[in-house]
Amino acid sequence: MSNKNLPLGDKEMRTLADTLETPFHLYDEKAIRENARAFTKAFSWVPGFKNYYAVKACPNPEILKILKEEGFGADCSSLPELILSQKAGINGEDIMFTSNDTPPEEFKKAYEMKAVINLDDITHIETLQKAAGIPDLISFRYNPGSDRTGNAIIGNPVEAKYGVTTEQLLPAYAKAKELGAKRFALHTMVASNELDGTYIVETARMLFSQAIRLQEELGIRLEFVNMGGGIGIPYRPDQDAMDLLWVSSQIKKLYEEMIVPAGLDPLRIVFECGRMVTGPYGYLVSRVRHVTKKYKDYVGLDSSMANLMRPALYGAYHHITVVGKGDVPANHTYDVTGSLCENNDKFAIDRQLPEIESGDVVVIHDTGAHGHAMGFNYNAKLRSAEYILQEDGSVRMIRRAETIDDLFSTLTS
């Protein structure tokens, strides 16, 4: 079971909502730091362990700076994400750049930054060579195809646009080596928001097998394997977080059974998790505008799917707390909605909640990843501000809300 607590008491949360313009995203710095440290500690047996935080989850330089201080790197997939990481003080091989239909200029920037370049396709070797050259260290994203099942969110690997196939893997490394690469790594990403730890353990087994194959057939010794991200968070109160200590212990057993006898020790193990690092420690704070009765009962908020797209996009569950009504029976059934001209602009459907009134403060949980980051301007909605609850208890703005002028700032006339 996961506790869906607020980072502040009811009185403090209501005062914050009265002081700041709602809606806004709030992040809990202390909780993020403690979670980052726990992740690193769970894999302390791995020499040089590192999590490359997936910048796409929460692309705010202030969040990236906090994670840099905790020893994290950055996982980037675009030029702006590279620049965001650089501005946060993350550089060189602390950046993992995973290409995906990548233009030459982005390869060039990653090369110049000395980031670890992780190629998504065998044809990208030539693109990279023409754009910048082949770096000393090169990695490939591996797609196991029918040898592995993807989970529900990421889909079947055979259907995925990502990665080098099993048949292409050896030729890809051989070609990179021929063109001058001297150091090698291997990456995969076959899960998303996964709570079953055995899935992560089996991912390690898969990568270890390929590491042995590369050594035996090409004489290529990997420096590290990147397990990707995909570790989920318990969005629902009845779900449990993944037991990282158990996962780590099982991967260690596999390491001792497979990697050590193959003479590949030491082999670094890294991740690129984003959601599980910051996701549970972000909150979308909103206010109730209207409570209406039609064929169903609706709670209309001042936020919308422009602030949090996941429920509309995936049918995803996000827990909802009505501030000050934690002890009130949840005996009313509501659809909780935004104000966009789209009928799927709903945060919850048929959700049991306390009786709600106009003016109530509502907090939507677990928005610290893929929340503000997926915002948009449909209906000319303005993206909301981001704040951080600092370790000393103060609240600081880390991104202002958009204004009407921002909507016109890119126009040419």
Instruction: Give the pLDDT confidence of 345-391 residue by residue, as tens digits.
Output: 999 999 999 999 999 999 999 999 999 999 999 999 999 999 999 99
Residue 308: band (very low, low, confident or very high) from pLDDT cuts 50, 70, 90: very high
Q: Which CATH number do you get for residue 288?
A: 2.40.37.10
Find the mean pLDDT for residues 73-95.
97
**Residues 244 and 251 sit within 8 Å (Cβ to Cβ):** no
CB atoms within 10 A of CB 317: 18
Domain boundary among 263, 278, 293: 278
Q: What is the pTM of this model?
A: 0.94
pLDDT attached to residue 1: 78
In terms of domains, do 247 and 367 share one? no
Domain boundary among 229, 249, 278: 278
Q: Which CATH number do you get for residue 66?
A: 3.20.20.10
Find the mean pLDDT for residues 127-152.
84
In terms of domains, do 273 and 237 share one? yes
Would you say residue 373 lies in a domain? yes
Residue 163: band (very low, low, confident or very high) from pLDDT cuts 50, 70, 90: confident
Is it true that the peptide bond before 23 is cis, omega within 30 degrees of 0?
A: yes
Residue 162 has pLDDT above 80, yes or no: no
State both tokens at 239. 């779900």
Would you say residue 55 lies in a domain? yes
Q: What are the phi and psi torsion angles at 397 (to 5°)?
A: -70, 130
Number of domains in the chain: 2
In terms of domains, do 224 and 349 share one? no
In terms of domains, do 245 and 335 share one? no
Give Cβ neighbours of residue 259 (< 8 Å, ≥ 6 apart). Answer: 208, 211, 212, 265, 267
240 alpha carbon, distance to own chain's centre:
18
Residue 13: band (very low, low, confident or very high) from pLDDT cuts 50, 70, 90: very high
In terms of domains, do 159 and 257 share one? yes
In terms of domains, do 344 and 271 share one? no
State both tokens at 403. 């204004």
pLDDT digit string, tens, across residues 222-234:
999 999 999 999 9
State both tokens at 45. 């047996």
Would you say residue 68 lies in a domain? yes
Domain boundary among 278, 300, 326: 278
In terms of domains, do 316 and 271 share one? no
Domain that holds residue 267: 29-278
pLDDT attached to residue 157: 63
